[in-house]
Amino acid sequence: MKHPSSRAFFAYWDDKRGFARAPDRSELEPGPVRELLGDIFVLSYDKPVEFPFRVAGTRVCALLGRDLKNQPFPLLFAPECREEIRDMITVVSEEQLVAVAGVTAMTEFGQKAHLELLLLPFATRAHSPISLTGLLAPMYEVRGRLGAFQLTSFRYLAHQPQRFAPRALRKLQVARGLMVYEGLR
């Protein structure tokens, strides 16, 4: 991750997930990341309606010059990039991997803007719709509205080594000469 906002949001998300693969969406509070809220968004994992925005930060909306609530996320991208974005959202949501992407777009004044996209999964809950969160931040100040995004690069972050809660081993005497240690499966 190159952008400081991406690194900060990832660190907060990583801290909240604790020993799980992803945090529950109720665990993320706006207070600790209030300076990043303008760049943060939440998507609904709903394939038939193209993964619509549930919430979009003010800076994300300002970059595109419109309110993004209920708008399909892949439609922000050029047609040749949409299938990769759909696949990326699917991998993040279903496999609970983190994705980081480089994105470019032309401003209304003909200048090229470079942005960083971060997609983070939420833990899935029974009988609840699946969603994911993300951050879209320009690498430098952008003047004017942006056109269609081009995906320039992306990668998935491998799962951090599984973190297990410390556990004390108990020694149990089962039979003479046989020692059983309780442990992890």
How many whole angstroms separate alpha carbon 126 and alpha carbon 138? 36
Class of domain 4-181: alpha beta
Q: Residue-wise pLDDT tens for the chain (185 aa)?
A: 999 999 999 999 999 998 888 999 999 999 999 999 999 999 999 999 999 999 999 999 999 999 999 999 999 999 999 999 999 999 999 999 999 999 999 999 999 999 999 999 999 887 788 999 999 999 999 999 999 999 999 999 976 655 555 555 555 555 566 666 666 55
Q: In whole angstroms, what is the distance from residue 22 CA to residue 93 CA?
A: 10
